[in-house]
Each structure stands twice: as C-alpha cells, then as structure tokens.
Amino acid sequence: MGLSPAEISIAVFIVMLGAMVQGSVGFGIALVAAPVLMQLDPRLVPGPLLVAGVPFMLLLAWRERREMPLRSIGAPVTGQLIGIVVALGFLELADARVLSIGVAVVVLVGVCLSIWGLKLKVTRKNFLMGGFLAGFMGTTSSMPGPALALIHQHVSAARMRATLAPFFCVGGFFGLVGLVATGQMGREETVMGLWLAPAGVLGLVLSNWTAPRMRESLVRPSVLAFSSLAALTLLYRSL
C-alpha cells in the first residue's frame, strides 16, 4: 500500500469508527474517514474508501431490511445515478476544488435553512434532487450522505439507517464502475480498498450495540452536525 504500519493502523481504525457511526445514525463513514485518509494518502479517496464501504453497506442494508421503505427508493436512486454521471463529466472538465466548494456551500445553505425552521417535505421531487446531490457529492468528494440525510432529518434513527442503506449500496457500486471506466481507479487502489474492507465490517458489528441506543431526539441534531462538518471539511480541503 505504500503506507507505514502505523499509517495502516490509523486507516483501519478510522474506517472502523466511521462504519460504526454510519451503522448507528445512517451515514458518516465517508465523513469520518475521508479527511483522515486524505491526509494519510490521497489515493485512498474516493476509490479505496468505496471498495471498503460496499461490503459494509450491503450488510447494513440487510440488517435494516425490515424498516426499509421500498416505495421511496426509486426516486433518490434515479437522481443519484444522474448525479454520478454528471459528476464524472465535471471531473473530466472542471477543477475538482471548485466543485467541492460549490457542493459545500449548497450543504451549508441547507443546514442553515433547516435550523431556521425550513422542513423539507418528503416528496418525489425532493427525493430526486437529494439523490442527484448525493450522487454528485459521493463521486466528487466521497461524502454522499448529507444531501439525503437533510431530507430525512425528522425520522427515527432506524428509518434513517434503512432509507439510506440501499441508496449507498447502489451509489457505491456505480461510483466504482464510473471511476474504473474513467481511468481514475486501478489495481493499486482496489488492493488498498480490500485491505480496509474488514474494518468496515467490524464497525458494523460494533454498531449492533450502539444503534439500538440511538434515541430519536438525537437524529436531527446529529444530521445537522454531521452535514455541517462534512461541508466545512470539503471547504478546508478545497481552499
């Protein structure tokens, strides 16, 4: 991997921690892990992190299947796929730093509007837009969660996890396909991701204890806090 044993240990621990957070709240693995992995080795994001996250996300979706709102999955997934395609095109033509700044500003505006009392309705149109932004964010910055989480901030932790899990599975798979197709991910990045994959599974196992203790009153503050942190992290990395 080109990393020292100490750096590998840090990478494994931070992916495990991020998976535990996502397994408890509904999103967070990229938010927690991506900034640290970027500092250790920029090659770890987004491809290897996506590889590490796919097994974890599949297992999380299976664990939360009973709470999964199947009727509301189609619109955000459609928006997500469109967002991935658009993001891959932008990555070929535009400065990734400019894209990240724009995404961060959109998320921060959404957080501010939520704090000031705006409650986004759970509609097909909002699902589609949230999916598009999440697909775009996931491909350009490895942080797809905040866009959809803002729409679902008033639901229970169990519903949040169940709603976002299949979305992340689809996004992770097609994000990897897109990165490979555009030559932005190869054998070395795949090996890095496979080294980190067991850490994601271990984080999910740990979240089996923390998830039931996630009170509904903590969901909205967690979403707003994590979304703000994601946006500020993107700004920091881009400026």
3-state secondary structure 211-227: HHHCCHHHHHHHHHHHH
- Write down how long the chain is: 239
Confidence of residue 15 (pLDDT cuts 50, 70, 90): very high
Confidence of residue 117 (pLDDT cuts 50, 70, 90): low
CA distances from 77 to 17, 161, 179, 222 (A): 26, 15, 18, 23
CB 22 within 8 A of CB 28: yes
For 237, residues 6+ apart whose C-beta sits below 8 A from its C-beta are 35, 38, 100
Residue 9 scores a pLDDT above 90: yes
Residue 26 scores a pLDDT above 80: yes
Residue 118 scores a pLDDT above 70: no
pLDDT tens for each residue of 55-67 = 999 999 999 988 8
Q: What pLDDT is stored for residue 222 in this prediction?
A: 80
Q: What pLDDT is stored for residue 155 in this prediction?
A: 73
Give the residue among 67, 77, 61, 28 at the shortest CA–CA distance from 156: 67
State what percent of residues in the chain have pLDDT above 70. 90
Residue 193 scores a pLDDT above 90: yes
Number of domains into which the chain is organized? 1
Helices then strands, counting H and E runs in the chain, come out as 10, 0
Residue 48 scores a pLDDT above 70: yes
Q: What pLDDT is stored for residue 10 in this prediction?
A: 93
- Tell me what the mean pLDDT of segment 113-121 comes to: 67
Q: What pLDDT is stored for residue 113 in this prediction?
A: 66
**Cis status, amide bond into 198, omega within 30 of 0:** no
Please report the sign of the dihedral spanned by the C-alpha atoms of residue 17, residue 23, residue 24, residue 25.
positive
Mean model confidence pLDDT for the chain:
82
The domain of 68 spans 5-238
Residue 36 scores a pLDDT above 80: yes
Confidence of residue 146 (pLDDT cuts 50, 70, 90): confident
- The lowest-confidence range among 69-73, 117-121, 222-226, 227-231 is 117-121
How far, in Å, CA of 24 to CA of 22, rounded?
A: 5
Global pTM?
0.79
Confidence of residue 94 (pLDDT cuts 50, 70, 90): low
